Amino acid sequence: MGLGAKLSSRGGQVGQLFDALPPPERTQRYREMADAAFLKAKHVKDDDLRAEYLRLAAGWHAMALELEANLRHLTQLEASQARLRQTPKEAKPDEQL
């Protein structure tokens, strides 16, 4: 299964690129890929291969965490911008007359 391939049959095309997914669904897919790699590592007898699967699982998990952190930051930024737009603008000195 290549990068961007979906593990489940829930909606969409198999092989859909992760970037095309909405961020919450992309985070879920990253976690599914991490889980799949971890399960592979659990059942592999070769130590080197197990280590590779564990590295893959860690990478997918890190991507999910990074995306979640970026989404939180973006949400906070958007909330700050919304508050700024709602703050009444101060009148300019020539408009006060």
Write down the pLDDT at residue 5.
46
Half-sphere exposure of 49 (CA within 13 A, CB side): 8
pLDDT band at 40 (very low <50, low <70, confident <90, very high): very high
Higher-scoring residue by pLDDT: 8, 65: 65
| Length of the chain in terms of residues written | 97
Q: Rounded to 5 degrees, what are φ and ψ at 5?
A: -70, 145
pLDDT tens digit sequence for 2-12: 444 444 445 45
How many secondary structure helices (H) and strands (E) does the chain include? Answer: 2, 0
Higher-scoring residue by pLDDT: 20, 34: 34
**Stated pTM of the model:** 0.65
